[in-house]
Structure 1
């Protein structure tokens, strides 16, 4: 099954093929030293049978996990699709779906899948300063998978032949094992880093999750590459001294390139440390890409010059990376260029140090709630693209109807009345550092506090979570996190009016620093508030954390409060008055999302309730 990835058997290279005879004569080593050096070069002492076994084990494990997750995902889709269809036939009768049908799944969801590692901290970063943080904690389910992954790699590295006459043979076996595993782990390291990773769509796992596993797979690869190099250096230096290492690096290209690869990987591991990564993200990203190229070239030359059995793996890695850039380039060209024009971006300065981006594309784009794009503006950030949730896509004509009838959850039936395509999307982003700060400051200097530049998008990505089968949907937004929720509001309110969704109650809970921030989405919210039957389904609760004056509610369905939203009280109120199955989604700062998670988890075993979090923890 894995014949193309499994290390092939190769003949033991002779000492002459590595230039050892020449170095032996020049250095004047005795015959005994020359014989001992056999454990430093080639495959002498390398446990290839063990390497074959662990490679197969690793690959079968990956396939088994993928099949399990795919099966789980398909079962979940079928369940939600069935719920959607039965409730659409009688939208007011949702009692059956309001309670859990099993006990094991809600327990697993509450205590494992949706649980933080410890107490409540998950996406709240460990701040070193206002601009620098030291990363976040993985969730409980992620931690279990990572412990197994790291533990297995460690176990495979120490499962060596110890009952040998010469300990150098054990070190040689360690050299072969760590080298094999480092090259093998490089495959998921590269695959999980790709925005167009096919597993994201297939398994409906977010890029954020894959990015977490990318970082850990990279750390394992780097550690094993260093161990591989140290094992070779130990055996060589213990017999012929450090001068022999220098001779090998100077006269044998494979070892020189191998050292280049190891040095580049090591630098990547240091440079990617969270404080460096977050403090100078755009600089980090550009240096990171250059170092990855150097590391891959060094590794490929190391393997190819000795005709080692891991060369096909490098071909696969290069294919993955080339395919990623091909699809990214295709997306940019398709939406950004035509024979007559190219896409443009209008940047408007908004209150609360935010900017609103309106992107006019050259071809139609189908709106999808919850999706995001990577925006690229060469004029201000030549090499960098940034991820932003799609806040709005205007309906092309007044007679257009918003309708999504899923074949299975997340799939749209493109029939008359389906979502109309648009050539314009809007994004909102806060001015922090780098590109967002440059855009805001430039817009502020313009006469109308806006400017237009040419730019492009990559995507759309994400948007896998359909909320159509839930009777009650609660949308939490913190600050600019409203961008993730507005398209859901539009879609669900339209679905209620057209009787195409199960939705009977939609609640938006938005916390902002001051009332000026409401201007970010005012034109879009006004359009939603004018939609047919909106008052029957939508309730909006706005929380102004730092009000400048008296806070007054504008209507019975749109209420404003001073202070911060108390997630636990709000969740309890909505759970007790829910209709049918309930979904709680959140998009906001890490601390805000953790508060909502903590408030939701106790209720996961009390009713049919799901928690969905949107995060960009790059």
Structure 2
């Protein structure tokens, strides 16, 4: 990812949801332990770069000088030793000064001790600290000789010249060299501390915003009175109308831009992203200083390139860790905030883009640095780029840019499996490149590797949580699944899965299905909305379901004649057979594995059903913070488009189950997780009449108290003239759903209305626009979305 710091120093979802959260929290706690552990952490948080600056300056000002005990060789392996070249005629000798040599050299000990005393006294450094730092810097931590023993009896009077090579007698450190060394270390240390400070600040701001929003969402869902008070507030209505609901501009949010260029985030999410980007720009560009003359850098330009490169490199690592957190399915912030995974994937893409840009800036400034005065330009850069840590940084930067570049919408939607494999491979290469760029070169002195530890922890925690879900819900050999065609629909199939346990399944959820026996690619999984579920011994009733005709709307006044449309579904009492616990999915086949599954089903002689073994990872979503508006609503309007009905059917089942318990006298007080609306309206528009009939017979035959308004957009469909006939299509109107009329027909002044939508982007965006208009007109309408966005 980064290309090169040039300097190195030696020196409700069942128990598995809780399990996933614990994995992520343990990752953060582990980081906190690492940050504050002994000789661990990051600069300013566990690592103090120069805690004894005056001592360090004395050491660095004198350590390059030869002592009488310095040994010289003509080469060999001197790794880890303090070596300098000495020109002896035609021979280039290597000088080595060992720790033992220094500990027994009077000139070194007395010169160091006196330098420390004089300069550390001036810095206000206490005597006991001076003694400690003398032991560390002068005699490599040895207990003897001590600081007091090494102080000269007679203060030295001769100052070392600037070009001194030998230290043969007790001397005064060269003032100019000490000044340059002290200033260089102070400025470098200040810069490194600011890199960390801004990195931690970025973490606190980004994660802090999510946590604050999550706490507010949890409070609203846990305290219905607070939720109702908030919804009745004029200020809250204005914020929703102007900030939280609308698109950034125009009306496009969930509908892709032309050419599958991508999505435009909503206004509130765009504001969050803007704050995030601006913070990164500011943190990448401020608080840079310079100290000259500098003992590390020959020019001020190179020095600033060093600081800018280190800052952007560190921030890039930080943003990469945030991007990995936001990409996880088991991201604990999803359940806290109630935001959808689509929202966090949008944030994931933006954090990854910023990280890639910062890595590129890091690379550019380190390249430009070698063309500053005092350096040899292309030849100096080529020599540095030949070092392994440097080209590992180049590899990491290229891999990260490719991972971001290949993540455009067109590729994601058309070649999802290929995109995902390539994306994961490039991210792994990025992380590996960052490790070999940082650790072999810098060791653990600066704590850069801690940000990589966080990346590894977030990634591993999410993967372990996935395995925990799979192990909890499936038997060792997988779960049985039955795949059936939907009669009359060429590209829609129904999948019924019989997992080991069913606990945790509910409305608004989805589950990832693995089908290893289909193509042998055991690692592939795809998310599908849960259309229905049943517990052990429960039955799914089938049979015709009465559907209220879609309301007639006055084309001019948009007023609704709803007198005949208030008929509601009542529970079907057809014969039923209890069965094992199961979960049902309705799937529209596209390309990839769903297309393969459909072809396998149609290849069977009977084309009736296909049995295979699957693994289910889930359920996900359906969090209380997401669904809170539904629990306090007087009217619930579910708007579905096409196969989006799969998401809505879970709510229909949950609402109808509550009605059945209420009618049976099983209600035991109000629950804040129960939909208690007086009206529940299902408004669905689909192009296949066969799909509508399938849903009516297989999912709506056992529901009670639900008003159903259906539209069929197939141009060949016409509603039966005789509504009492047995012909299919009763209660279904031809043409498109008029969203404005539907909402105005159901929303009533003074009543709390919740609109739940799951539909393709264009229809979902139209629902949002109409909800905004309703709020503007003073109606109390809340919106809960399930998006189709990739």
Q: Which range, TM-score by smaller chain? A: 0.7 to 0.9
- Structure 1 position 398, deviation (Å): 5.3
- Structure 1 position 545, deviation (Å): 0.6
Structure 2 vs 1, CA of residues 363 and 275 (structure 1 numbering), >3 Å: closer, same or farther?
Answer: same
Give the aligned partner of residue 600 of structure 1.
771
Give the aligned partner of residue 388 of structure 1.
528
In structure 2, C-alpha distance between the alignment counterparts of 1:172 and 1:112, rounded to whole Å:
41
Q: Secondary structure at the match of 2:450?
A: helix
Give the aligned partner of residue 365 of structure 2.
231
In structure 2, C-alpha distance between the alignment counterparts of 1:99 and 1:70, rounded to whole Å:
16
Q: In the alignment, does 2:740 pair up with 1:568?
A: yes
Kindly indicate whether the alpha-carbon contact (under 8 Å) linking 2:284 and 2:308 is maintained by their aligned counterparts in 1.
yes
After superposition, what is the alpha-carbon deviation per residue over 1:525-566, rounded to whole angstroms, capped at 9, x for unaligned?
A: 3433xx4xx2xx321011011142421385799721110001
Q: Secondary structure at the match of 1:362?
A: coil
After superposition, what is the alpha-carbon deviation per residue over 1:179-219, rounded to whole angstroms, capped at 9, x for unaligned?
A: 11111112211100000011111222211111111100000
Q: In the alignment, does 2:681 pair up with 1:512?
A: no
Give the aligned partner of residue 605 of structure 2.
447
Give the aligned partner of residue 404 of structure 2.
269
Give the aligned partner of residue 458 of structure 2.
320
Q: In the alignment, does 2:335 pair up with 1:201?
A: yes
Q: Secondary structure at the match of 1:364?
A: coil
- Describe how 1:273-288 pairs up with structure 2 within 5 A: 273-288=408-423
In structure 1, C-alpha distance between the alignment counterparts of 2:311 and 2:79, rounded to whole Å:
22
Q: In the alignment, does 2:113 pair up with 1:74?
A: no
Structure 2 vs 1, CA of residues 516 and 359 (structure 1 numbering), >3 Å: closer, same or farther?
Answer: same
Q: In the alignment, does 2:560 pair up with 1:433?
A: no
Give the aligned partner of residue 485 of structure 2.
349
Q: Secondary structure at the match of 1:446?
A: coil
After superposition, what is the alpha-carbon deviation per residue over 1:16-52, rounded to whole angstroms, capped at 9, x for unaligned?
A: 9999999999xx9xxxxxx9xxxxxxx9598223213
After superposition, what is the alpha-carbon deviation per residue over 1:230-260, rounded to whole angstroms, capped at 9, x for unaligned?
A: 211221244223233333233x332222222
Q: Any unmatched runs of 5+ in structure 2?
A: 1-28, 51-55, 65-77, 93-176, 178-186, 293-299, 541-577, 668-674
Q: Secondary structure at the match of 1:366?
A: coil
Q: Secondary structure at the match of 1:582?
A: strand
Aligned residue pair count: 565
- Describe how 1:519-534 pairs up with structure 2 within 5 A: 519-528=693-702, 531=703, 534=704
Two-structure CA RMSD over aligned residues (Å): 3.6
After superposition, what is the alpha-carbon deviation per residue over 1:292-345, rounded to whole angstroms, capped at 9, x for unaligned?
A: 11111111222212123221221121111111111111212222224xx53122
- Describe how 1:137-536 pairs up with structure 2 within 5 A: 137-161=264-288, 166-238=300-372, 239-250=375-386, 252-305=387-440, 306-307=442-443, 308-338=446-476, 341-350=477-486, 351-378=489-516, 379-380=518-519, 381-397=521-537, 423-449=581-607, 450-464=609-623, 465-466=627-628, 467-499=630-662, 501-528=675-702, 531=703, 534=704
In structure 1, C-alpha distance between the alignment counterparts of 2:229 and 2:49, rounded to whole Å:
61
Partner of residue 60 from structure 1, selected from 181, 188, 204: 204
The range that moved more, 260-269 or 233-242, is 233-242
Give the aligned partner of residue 584 of structure 1.
755
Q: In the alignment, does 2:234 pair up with 1:103?
A: yes
Q: Secondary structure at the match of 2:708?
A: strand
Kindly indicate whether the alpha-carbon contact (under 8 Å) linking 1:164 and 1:170 is maintained by their aligned counterparts in 2.
no
Q: Secondary structure at the match of 1:521?
A: helix
Q: Secondary structure at the match of 2:282?
A: helix
- Structure 1 position 98, deviation (Å): 11
In structure 2, C-alpha distance between the alignment counterparts of 1:496 and 1:24, rounded to whole Å:
92
Structure 2 vs 1, CA of residues 349 and 497 (structure 1 numbering), >3 Å: closer, same or farther?
Answer: closer
In structure 1, C-alpha distance between the alignment counterparts of 2:742 and 2:275, rounded to whole Å:
37
Answer with 1 or 2: which has the greater Rg.
Answer: 2
In structure 1, C-alpha distance between the alignment counterparts of 2:651 and 2:364, rounded to whole Å:
54
Q: Secondary structure at the match of 1:455?
A: strand
Give the aligned partner of residue 10 of structure 1.
49
The TM-score normalised by the length of structure 2 is 0.66
Q: Any unmatched runs of 5+ in structure 1?
A: 29-34, 36-42, 84-96, 401-419
Q: In the alignment, does 2:683 pair up with 1:548?
A: no
Kindly indicate whether the alpha-carbon contact (under 8 Å) linking 1:357 and 1:426 is maintained by their aligned counterparts in 2.
yes
Give the aligned partner of residue 120 of structure 1.
251
In structure 2, C-alpha distance between the alignment counterparts of 1:76 and 1:421, rounded to whole Å:
38
In structure 1, C-alpha distance between the alignment counterparts of 2:465 and 2:234, rounded to whole Å:
43
In structure 2, C-alpha distance between the alignment counterparts of 1:194 and 1:214, rounded to whole Å:
9
- Structure 1 position 262, deviation (Å): 1.1
Structure 2 vs 1, CA of residues 99 and 457 (structure 1 numbering), >3 Å: closer, same or farther?
Answer: closer
Kindly indicate whether the alpha-carbon contact (under 8 Å) linking 1:375 and 1:386 is maintained by their aligned counterparts in 2.
yes
Kindly indicate whether the alpha-carbon contact (under 8 Å) linking 2:309 and 2:365 is maintained by their aligned counterparts in 1.
yes
Q: Secondary structure at the match of 2:581?
A: strand
